């Protein structure tokens, strides 16, 4: 019996010796792989649809989309069409369309292409966005002068109003503008793969040449109103979109830079004494 215990004791001592040769890892890394959804997100601007329903002088729609190419970078685009009738009031008779100095209708299409960068750090499983981005935009449109009035010093035939003009009435085709647009917005996943988005936009016209004819470009589809002497325009959108997942990709953590160890300086006590 003593031989049995002696052999068992010897075996345990040898096993413990081999186990001590392998270093113990006190900082084990999480080997779980977290993958995020990558794909195409498409939707529509609901604000233009709502305005089309409530405003008789406006019709418009916009398709929005983005495609994720890296963890935080997205290709983005908008494609739309707008038609709007605008009247410039004359005097105090603001609510009467017949009191307008002139009335025109702008109709055309536009496209915007650019990128969005997500600045929001999501928890695992989330795919929300607080983003900034930029667009290059181009619009082709026409303007139709519906009615206008002429200032006449002689009020004999029109004592209570200005004379109505007719020679310049008509449609002016072949107009186009381009601009750069700064975008800031959010996109939040309300249910699986369905997103609500909102963004504000500041545009600056690149091409702003005054068109030939009597009528300036006072409204540009996709850009909004144009004020005299200014190249800037402000816009917004509220969108509903759906993510079409195409594949999943592992979220690569950022590699930490190794800091060089400080050089150890010799202790003054260890310096050799002068003889």
Q: Does residue 253 have a pLDDT over 60?
A: no
Residue with tokens 């609510």: 95
Confidence of residue 90 (pLDDT cuts 50, 70, 90): low
* Interval 131-156 mean pLDDT: 81
Domain presence at residue 42: yes
Q: Does residue 11 have a pLDDT over 80?
A: no
Domain presence at residue 199: yes
Within 8 A by CB and 6+ apart from 94, the residues are none
Number of structural domains (the chain) is 1
* Interval 121-147 mean pLDDT: 89
The whole-angstrom separation of Cα 259 and Cα 219 is: 57
Domain presence at residue 149: yes
Domain presence at residue 200: yes
Domain presence at residue 193: yes
The whole-angstrom separation of Cα 97 and Cα 182 is: 35
Q: Does residue 5 have a pLDDT over 50?
A: no
Q: Does residue 139 have a pLDDT over 60?
A: yes
Q: Does residue 166 have a pLDDT over 90?
A: no
Would you state the pLDDT for residue 158? 57
Domain presence at residue 15: no
Confidence of residue 254 (pLDDT cuts 50, 70, 90): low
Q: CATH number of the domain at 154, please.
A: 2.40.160.20
Would you state the pLDDT for residue 19? 46
Domain presence at residue 271: no
> Of the ranges 19-23, 173-177, 241-245, 271-275, which one carries the lowest mean pLDDT score?
19-23
State percent of the chain over pLDDT 90.
45
Would you state the pLDDT for residue 9? 46
Q: Does residue 95 have a pLDDT over 60?
A: no
* Interval 83-110 mean pLDDT: 74
Q: What is the domain extent for residue 167?
A: 33-250
Task: Note the pTM of the prediction, 2 decimals.
Answer: 0.73
Would you state the pLDDT for residue 29? 59
Domain presence at residue 27: no
The whole-angstrom separation of Cα 168 and Cα 171 is: 9
The whole-angstrom separation of Cα 1 and Cα 4 is: 5
3-state class of 70 per DSSP? Answer: coil
């Amino acid at each position: 019996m003593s031989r049995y215990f002696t052999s068992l004791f010897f075996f345990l001592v040898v096993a413990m010796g081999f186990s001590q040769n392998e270093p113990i890892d006190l900082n084990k890394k999480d080997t779980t792989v977290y993958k995020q959804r990558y794909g195409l997100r498409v939707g529509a601007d609901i604000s233009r649809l709502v305005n089309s329903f409530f405003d008789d002088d406006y019709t418009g729609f916009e398709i929005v989309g983005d495609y994720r190419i890296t963890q935080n970078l997205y290709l983005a685009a908008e494609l739309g069409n707008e038609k709007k009738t605008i009247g410039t009031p004359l005097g105090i008779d603001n609510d009467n369309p017949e009191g307008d100095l002139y009335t025109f209708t702008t109709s055309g299409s536009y496209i915007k292409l650019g990128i969005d960068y997500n600045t929001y750090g999501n928890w695992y499983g989330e795919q929300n966005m607080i983003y900034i981005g930029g667009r290059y935009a181009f619009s082709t449109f026409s303007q139709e002068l519906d009615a206008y009035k002429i200032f006449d010093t002689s009020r004999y035939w029109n004592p209570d109003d200005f004379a109505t003009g007719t020679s310049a009435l008509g449609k002016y085709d072949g107009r186009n503008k381009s601009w750069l647009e700064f975008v800031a917005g959010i996109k939040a996943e309300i249910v699986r793969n369905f997103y609500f988005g909102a963004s504000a936009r500041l545009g600056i016209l690149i091409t702003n040449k005054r068109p030939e004819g009597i009528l300036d470009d006072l409204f540009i589809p996709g850009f909004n109103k144009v004020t005299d002497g200014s190249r800037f325009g402000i816009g917004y959108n509220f969108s509903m979109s759906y993510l079409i997942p195409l594949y999943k990709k592992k979220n690569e953590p950022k590699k930490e830079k190794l800091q060089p160890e400080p050089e150890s300086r010799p202790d003054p006590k260890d310096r050799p004494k002068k003889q």
